[in-house]
Structures are given as C-alpha cells and as structure tokens.
Amino acid sequence: MSLLEIKDLGIVFGGLHAVEGFNLTLEKGELYGLIGPNGAGKTTVFNLLTGVYKPTSGEFYLDGVKMNGKKPVEISKAGIARTFQNIRLFGKLSVLDNVKIGLHNQMKYGTLTGLLRLPKYFSTERRMNEKAIELLSVFELDGDADTLASNLPYGKQRKLEIARAMATAPKLLLLDEPAAGMNPNETNELMQTIRLIRDKFDLTILLIEHDMSLVSGICENITVLNFGTELAKGPTAEVLRDPEVIKAYLGN
C-alpha cells in the first residue's frame, strides 16, 4: 500500500480553481518534489493535506486511511507534519520549548499533573528534554536550546521548524521551501540533513522548492504545478528538461 494517495484533489476559492484534479501517490521512503511558478498552488496543496483548507473535490489517504475533511490536529496525529513558507515558530519561547511542543502528542501528562508537579511530570519532562535535545542535535541546534526562537538567525529558524515537525513523529513530512533565503553552502548542508533524517527516521518527504539545485539534488521524482493543475510529472531530470515546464518557468 502506498503511504500517501491523492485522488483528484481540488479547491475552489470564490470561483477560482486554486488547485484542480491533483493526483499523487507517494511510496514509503520517497523524497518527492513539488515545483512550479509562484501562485501555481503548491502551498495550497500543503494546506489541503494538513487540513488548513477543506478540499472542495477529491480525496486523499494516508496509509489507506481517508484524511480529507479532518481537522489539522487529527491530521497531525495521523502522521503528517509540515513546515511553513513564511516561518511560523513560537517566537517568544525557547528553541527547546519549540521542539517540546512538537512532542505534545508523543509524551503526555495531564494539566493537573503539571500543576501539582506529580512524579510523572518530572519523568516525562526529562524524557521530553532528552528527545528534544536529540532532535536539535540532528540540526546542530542543541547549543541554542535556551535561545528564544525569534532571536535565531534565519537559517537556523528554518532548521528549527523542521526539528519541531520531526518531533511529532510524522510518517510524512511536508517541507515548504526549506532552502529559501539560504546561501549555496547552507543549501548543500540542508540537503545532507534532509537525506539524513529521511534515512534515520524512516520518513517520506514531500517538498516544495524553488532552488533547482536542491530539487535535482535530492528528489527522485517531481510534479510541476501551473495554474493549479499538473503540468508534468516524473523523474526529476526528465521533467526539468520538458519544454512545457521550461516555458512555464521562463514565460514565452
């Protein structure tokens, strides 16, 4: 069974078909790219997959379970995590706390346990800290654990978002322009990290990216979106040579 199966997914905003007839099947462990010019509907696809928007047509399945129509929280619990194009960290909280909130549904104790500082509070908090530091060290952020998230430099913020998403123990990770604003060196490093987490945590990754070097560097297959519909699909190198795709990117 495929990990993710999207069938004819679409959404209409006031008459505008932002995404229409989107189909995609992802196998476990795949690293898949979603590209397209600005406004092509890439982020909208992410919003549909994470329940921010309700699709007006079509459906999608995670591990065979129908997901469309579910709320973001349920989708997160089912195993889809994401990052955001315009970084959305918990700015007034520390880096460590950001990741610990990611662990919200992984390690639990009740409000009363927390208020009364019952033994379970201390044991769970200790496990949370260990797990969070472990995740942070993957992204070399463990040294910044006590820094406020909003005080981190841009590149680290992007990494922290991925670390936070990883904390929810997802099956499918959606990365929205993870390399935006990074220099080539940083991008290269990020590529390594993405591969690393895919292998280490047994992940399936769907990513949106404008940086073609990153896309062609790590994605096995890609889909090109244009005006909300699929323009091309297939192995990365082939698709990028497609004249239609080039036209869409460069204009006439």
Partner 1 sequence: MKFLSQLISGISLGSIYALIALGYTMVYGIAKMLNFAHGDVIMVGAFVVYTACVKGGMNPVLGVLLAIVFCTVLGVCIERLAYKPLRQAASLAVLITAIGVSYLLQNLALLIFKSDTKQFSSVVMIKPVTVAGLTVSGEIIATIIVSVVIMVALTLFVNKTKPGKAMRAVSEDKGAAQLMGINVNGIISLTFAIGSALAAIAGALMCSTYPALSPYTGAMPGIKAFVAAVFGGIGSIPGAMVGGVLLGVIENLSKGYISSQLSDAIVFAVLILVLLIKPTGIMGKKMTEKV
Partner 2 sequence: MAKKINSPLEKKSAGLRPVTKKNLVTLGIVTVFYVLFQTLSSLGVLKNAYQSLLVPICYSVIMAVSLNLVVGVLGELSIGHAGFMCVGAYCGAFFSVVTKNSFEIGWLRFLIAMIIGAVAAAIAGFLIGIPVLRLKGDYLAIVTLAFGEIIKSVVNVLYIGRDDAGFHIAMDSAKVGLQEGGVMILNGPQGITGTPRNSNFTVGFILVMLTLIIVTNLMDSRTGRAVMSLRDNRIAAESIGVNVTKYKLTAFVISAAIAGVAGVLYAHNLNALTANTNNFGYNMSIMILVYVVLGGLGSIRGSVIAAALLYSLPEIFRGVGQYRMLLYAIVLIVMMIVNNGAFFVQYKEKLKHRIRGGRKEAA
In the complex, minimum distance from the CB of residue 22 to partner 2, in angstroms, rounded to a whole number: 20
Span interacting with partner 2, options 2-10, 20-28, 35-43, 82-90, rule CB under 8 A: 82-90
81 binds, among partner 2, partner 1, none (CB under 5 to 8 A by kind): partner 2
In the complex, minimum distance from the CB of residue 48 to partner 2, in angstroms, rounded to a whole number: 13
Binding mask 132-171 for partner 1 (x = CB under 8 A): ----------------------------------------
Name the amino acid, one letter, at 20.
Answer: E
61 binds, among partner 2, partner 1, none (CB under 5 to 8 A by kind): none
Judged by CB under 8 A, the residue of 12, 52, 145, 148 near partner 1 is 52
CA distance 18 to 12: 6
12: number of Cβ within 10 Å: 14
| Terminal CA-CA length for the chain | 41
127: number of Cβ within 10 Å: 13
In the complex, minimum distance from the CB of residue 76 to partner 2, in angstroms, rounded to a whole number: 4
Judged by CB under 8 A, the residue of 53, 90, 201, 249 near partner 2 is 90
Whole-Å CA distances, 164 to 4, 30, 81, 143, 215: 22, 21, 9, 16, 22
Phi and psi at 61, nearest 5°, equal -125, 140
What's the helix, strand, coil split of the chain in %, to 5? 45, 25, 35
Nearer to partner 2, 130 or 244 (CB): 130
Under rule CB under 8 A, residue 119 binds partner 2: no
Stretch 21-50 residues interacting with partner 2 (CB under 8 A): 50
Task: Output b/e per residue, 67-79; b: 16+ Cβ within 10 A.
Answer: bbebeeeebbebb
248 binds, among partner 2, partner 1, none (CB under 5 to 8 A by kind): none
In the complex, minimum distance from the CB of residue 47 to partner 1, in angstroms, rounded to a whole number: 5
